[in-house]
Amino acid sequence: MSETQHRPDRADPREALPTWVSYLVAAGSSAPSADNGQPWNFSWDGTALTLALDAARAQAGLGADHPAVLLAMGACLENLVQAATRAGLPPAQMQFPGGDHDAFLRISAAGGESVPDAADTSYFTARHTSRVPFSRDPLPSTLLDELQESREGKAQVRVFSAPAQIACIAGLIEAASQARFQNAEIHRWLVASLRLSESQAAQGDGLDVATLGLPPGGRLLMRLIADWRRMSVLNKLGAYKLLAKVEALSVAHCGAVLAVMAPTWGTPDMLSAGRLLERIWLLLNHQGIAVHPYFVLSDQLYRRDTGRLPPAHVAPVNALAGSSRTVFRDGDLQPAVLLRVGRTAAQVPRSRRLPIAQVFASSVLCK
């Protein structure tokens, strides 16, 4: 059999793969993605493992060129590169075709036989999103300095640890969230990704409400506002202001806010920003520091820059863009994603992943 095969009938198609390929697929698929959309696809042709965009999944979510999708692809790529390096694969075996949707990364098998047995994937699976309140204790200055020095391509990290800076950023997130909660398109996308019951969560993608850290009654509220017509009635009573205030309050509970900055919303820069996002996230989680990403500000800025805002939102989001420039004051760089980081003793439920057969295709016969 030579044509590409998806094997949904197999419990785990990795059983028939070389150990190092299974290891890489496990590491790659544990990457974070906006609303856990997992827009990636891995394929193995007997000589190379390829990372590509899953066009159908990306399109069903935010769209193939949306920066959040590219950030997720960058995060996945970073995991693959780090996992390949840990498995002893030399850099010469990794090719970066340049962000073509059909191939973001190819890792070839030349010499693959000598790759040591699968390393432990827990380094990658330990990384997770934490949405509970964090302590406001300051983080070690050596760590913050190291983060501030982090670079990938044109992407860089900025650290905001002074309470006044964090309060300013919380204000930006509140304004961006107000726009988001009044935007029917974003609302429908968010609602489509919500997994409100155990059987929905068991699909392995989307936002499992158990991971959202909702207060009592939170699930009920989610169900109530899921219908946009109801949400728009509630918005007339100020619901969007209340929800945005809650979002902003959660930002204030942290040790620092990190901004992954990049010059454009396009492929090379967002891939670099995604790689950097994943690198610092792994570093922080392994130092016992929790991470909660916020994409809402970047999303509004992206929609403004690409003319995708509803007419009524143009003026407030233009004002938001002005305030954002004042807070981030960073030449031609803009925030690709923000991270609230800090310490917490709380154990949080983990997001699941799609069955491997849904993100993996092999063009060689599985045993």
Q: What residues numbered 179-208 form the site for ligand FMN, per CB under 6 A?
A: 207
Contacts of 149 (CB under 8 A, 6+ apart): 157
Q: Which of 104, 294, 302, 360 binds ligand FMN (CB under 6 A)?
A: 294
Contacts of 212 (CB under 8 A, 6+ apart): 131, 218
CA distance 256 to 146: 14
Cα separations in angstroms, 164 against 252, 253, 260, 340:
10, 13, 19, 15
In this complex, which beta carbon is closest to ligand FMN, that of residue 37 or of residue 112? Answer: 37
Choices 13-21, 64-72, 116-124, 214-222; region in contact with ligand FMN by CB under 6 A: 64-72
When asked if residue 128 is in the footprint of ligand FMN (CB under 6 A), the reply is yes
In this complex, which beta carbon is closest to ligand FMN, that of residue 35 or of residue 54? Answer: 35
When asked if residue 296 is in the footprint of ligand FMN (CB under 6 A), the reply is yes
In this complex, which beta carbon is closest to ligand FMN, that of residue 72 or of residue 109? Answer: 72
Choices 66-74, 95-103, 104-112, 306-314; region in contact with ligand FMN by CB under 6 A: 66-74
When asked if residue 32 is in the footprint of ligand FMN (CB under 6 A), the reply is yes
Site string for ligand FMN, 318-337 (x = CB under 6 A): -------------------x
- Dihedral of CA atoms 353, 357, 360, 361 in degrees, nearest 10, equals -170
When asked if residue 302 is in the footprint of ligand FMN (CB under 6 A), the reply is no
In this complex, which beta carbon is closest to ligand FMN, that of residue 16 or of residue 226? Answer: 226
Choices 11-19, 31-39, 177-185, 251-259; region in contact with ligand FMN by CB under 6 A: 31-39
> Number of residues in contact with ligand FMN, rule: CB under 6 A?
21
DSSP state, residue 42: E
CA distance 245 to 129: 21
In the bound complex, what is the minimum distance in angstroms from residue 72's beta carbon to ligand FMN?
Answer: 5
Q: Which of 19, 103, 123, 131 binds ligand FMN (CB under 6 A)?
A: 131
Give the long-range contacts of residues 204-207, CB within 8 A, separation 24 or more.
204/352, 204/353, 204/354, 204/355, 204/358, 205/36, 205/37, 205/38, 205/352, 205/353, 205/354, 206/35, 206/36, 206/37, 207/35, 207/36, 207/351
200: which 2 tokens?
Answer: 């929905």
Do residues 308 and 195 make contact, with C-beta atoms less than 8 angstroms apart?
A: no
CA distance 27 to 240: 38
In this complex, which beta carbon is closest to ligand FMN, that of residue 10 or of residue 66? Answer: 66
When asked if residue 36 is in the footprint of ligand FMN (CB under 6 A), the reply is yes
Binding site for ligand FMN (CB under 6 A): 32-36, 68, 71-72, 75, 128-129, 131, 207, 292-296, 337, 350-351
